[in-house]
Homo-oligomer: A and B are copies of this chain.
Amino acid sequence: MTTERPMPTATLLIACPDRPGLIAQITGLVGDLGGNIIDADQHTDPEAGQFFMRLAIEREGVDRAALESGIVQVAAQRSMQWRLNWRDEPTRLAVLVSKQGHCLADLLFRWQAGELEGDIALVIGNHADHQAITEAAGVPFVHLPVTAPTKRGQESRIGELLSETKVDCVVLARYMQVLSPEFVADWPARIINIHHSFLPAFAGARPYHRAFERGVKIIGATSHYVTDDLDEGPIIAQATTTVGHRDTVEDLVRKGRDLERVVLADAVRAHLQDRILVSGNKTVVFE
């Protein structure tokens, strides 16, 4: 159960209007300041005229201050958005959960197996169901029940806990509450949800029931960043599996659990490895 975590590298993510010479300029800058580039990936969106790049840089030997100020200069010239993550500390996740525990259990297991380049710092449940499994993994569990009248207060309390625990990213592991626009605005591209359908089909409630009624021959799951539009945020990962006329709604739910676990874990892994860039309402997910 203890697989070695890979040696962390620093990651530089950039997005800017496409211009010739960008790759050479950025990789040259990093190299001149002692940074050994382990992995580089880039993408050009010709419609949007945007350029995206991810560099993985060895942490040893690089002049951090010089690199940061160099990037600031390029960013000013190029109207470039960027994020440089030195990875001195693991990224910290909070998981929000309701009654369904399969995604939470899966994330805890993967974290303990060393699959996630980050830490699960906190689990918050609006039901108490998963306290034991969370604490058995050595993670604090906070039970914050919610009802219509207490919803605003409960959400503020979540915000405080995330702040106190220095959380970087929130994972909704089948959390059945809709977050307020104010909350979502505080966490742009930092809340990952799992929806139990292949979006855009069956957005909203009870997707397996609706898939059953429509008589589809495939079902799916979708992980996406949360935005104000329910189930409309940028898609990070999707997967599907086949179903047939013998499958009941319960079979769809069971098969779907296997999809949800894998699709959510894929998204969380990609986020933790700084492999995702958001472009409009779409994602670039480097490999």
Name A residues whose Cβ lies closer than 8 Å to a Cβ of B. 1, 3-4, 6, 20-21, 23-24, 27-28, 30-32, 36-45, 99-102, 105, 109, 113, 115, 129-130, 132-133, 136, 198-202, 214-218, 220, 234-240, 242, 244-246, 250, 253-254, 257-258, 262, 281-285, 287
Q: A interface, by DSSP: helix, strand, loop or mixed?
A: mixed
**B113 contacts A43, CB within 8 Å?**
no
Given contacts A3-B250, A44-B39, A201-B200, contact A218 B239 (CB under 8 A): yes
Given contacts A36-B20, A37-B23, A39-B42, contact A234 B215 (CB under 8 A): yes
Given contacts A201-B198, A215-B282, contact A23 B40 (CB under 8 A): yes
**B38 contacts A31, CB within 8 Å?**
no
**B250 contacts A215, CB within 8 Å?**
no
CB-CB under 8 A from A201, the residues of chain B are: 198-201
Give A109 Cβ to nearest chain B Cβ, in Å: 6
Given contacts A28-B28, A202-B200, contact A281 B43 (CB under 8 A): no
CB-CB under 8 A from A115, the residues of chain B are: 254
Give A233 Cβ to nearest chain B Cβ, in Å: 10
**B235 contacts A220, CB within 8 Å?**
no
Give A205 Cβ to nearest chain B Cβ, in Å: 15
Across the A-B interface, the 8 shortest Cβ-Cβ residue pairs? A215-B282, A201-B201, A24-B27, A24-B28, A217-B238, A20-B36, A24-B31, A245-B284
| Distance in angstroms between the alpha carbons of A242 and B239 in the assembled complex | 8
